[in-house]
Amino acid sequence: MAEVWEVPGALDGERLDRALALLTGLSRREVNHLVDGTKVTIAGRVVASRSRKVRAGEQVSVDGPLSPAPPAAPVGDAGVAVVVVWNDADVIVIDKPAGLVVHPGAGNQTGTLVHGLLARFPDLVGLSESGSAGAEFRDQHDRPGIVHRLDKGTSGLLMVARTRAARSALVAQLSRHEVEREYVTLVAGTLEADGGLIDAPLGRADRDPTRIRIDAGGRQARTRYQVDGRYDQPAPTTLLRCRLETGRTHQIRVHLASIGHPVVGDERYGGRAVSGWKPLPRGRPFLHAAALTFDHPLSGERLSFSSALPGDLVEVLEQVRVQSR
């Protein structure tokens, strides 16, 4: 039997997927599953577009079930290498290589960091069990312990929770902006100022929800940057250290592209390869999570970790430095 919701004024103009997630309490993935399965209608007409804007007073009908069964939880795969920087009974700190997806998702059901973690830390399986309630289970059954992510092409430091209590504490620190995350990146062009703040909200593009854009109605996003070096050969580039004050999807990449300085190698947001360089592999932007600081979820001790630039980025940076002398 279909269930019906009336769109309130507060959601007027919102995308269908976001509005329906808020109205039903389902995850965005579950909502997308319903929309793609032609289970959602407005005014008696099937809506096939997740990005369709809803209007106050419209009747949105969903032909259930409203809680589709999630796919099976992932299993450990010892073939996925996991570089552990530090761990104890509550937290694991990983140094992720570029090219490794963090958790299962569309097109990546095997071979992710989560699969490698489950093989090395079998206790994480407990965070995937269906005994978890409601939204927490929907969020965690295929990404046990994951509290934040790095893009597939980005390398560097990532923290993972080993218990539900640790996850709650780390998520709370992230929401309060108490976790310090510093990235090293090489961008196209020369930044004249030695540092600055990019404060621009981000949202998903209507036509491609996997692409992020500056959006006045999006979520707050703030990135601070500091110049570490400027180079003029084989083309002008600037080496930056960026600190996240918020942690939105593709935040650094989109923010830097928005001020005309896309990350080198980030083809999606305009950071094309520079003629005369040995190119980075496709899908590998010059972006590395180099420093991570947070409070231990149990003891409260402030913990800090650092990761050196990996070899592929060192090679590019050395080439730039040599040619710019």
**Known catalytic residues?**
151
Distance CA 249, CA 265 (A): 18
Q: Is 243 exposed, middle or buried (0-12, 13-18, 19+ CB in 10 A)?
A: middle
What residue type is assigned to position 58 of the chain?
E
Question: Which stretches of 91-163 are assigned E, i.e. beta strand?
Answer: 91-96, 155-161
Compute CA 256 distance to the chain's CA centroid, rounded to the nearest angstrom.
Answer: 16
Residues in the chain: 325
CB within 8 A of 239, min separation 6: which ones? Answer: 184, 185, 186, 227, 228, 229, 230, 231, 317
Name the token pair of 275: 């003629």
DSSP summary character for residue 143: S
